[in-house]
Amino acid sequence: MILKTDSRGLVRTPPERREALVAEFERSGLSATKFSAMVGVRYQTFATWVQQGKAQPRRVGRPRGSKSLRLVEAVRDAPQRVPGDGALRITLPGGAAFDLSECSQVALAAQLLKAMGCGTPC
């Protein structure tokens, strides 16, 4: 791996590489001092990376700038079988229900729920 240096001659380590080194350190069982020396990173720099990793949980999921995340609870009663193999039954708060038996029906069901005003939390 070729590492770039800045105008002062300091090595610029990409964030992905930093995360990989911290993850490897956590699995290694070595002290931070020994591990940083082994991988050729100054101890203070490495200690900062470890602290940043603990302070900032990884972002997983949607990219920046996307619409806010909405969660919907899906419950499936195990004893009751819905019509068809592998069908999904969507039951609305008022008791109305419909079954999805093919993947192509998911987009249609989403449009129906949106038109009914079910896109906001109940």
Q: Using alpha carbons, list the distances in angstroms from residue 78 to 11, 31, 41, 88, 100.
A: 56, 49, 54, 12, 17
Q: What's the pTM?
A: 0.41
Residues 74 and 93 in one domain: yes
Q: Which domain holds residue 111?
A: 66-122
Residues 45 and 74 in one domain: no
What gap in Å lies between CA 106 and CA 109, rounded to an integer?
A: 5
Residues 83-104: what's their mean pLDDT? 73
Give how many domains the chain has, as a whole number: 2
Residue 65: pLDDT over 70: no
What integer pLDDT is reported at residue 89 of this predicted model?
79
Residue 50 counted as domain residue: yes
What integer pLDDT is reported at residue 43 of this predicted model?
92
Cβ atoms < 10 Å from Cβ of 22: 19
**pLDDT confidence band for 121 (50 / 70 / 90):** low
Q: Crossing angle, helix 15-28 and helix 32-39, to 10 degrees?
A: 130
Q: Crossing angle, helix 43-55 and helix 15-28, to 10 degrees?
A: 90
Residue 46 counted as domain residue: yes
Residues 97-111 pLDDT 10s: 778 877 777 788 888
Residues 79 and 51 in one domain: no
Top-ranked range on mean pLDDT: pick from 17-26, 71-80, 84-93: 17-26
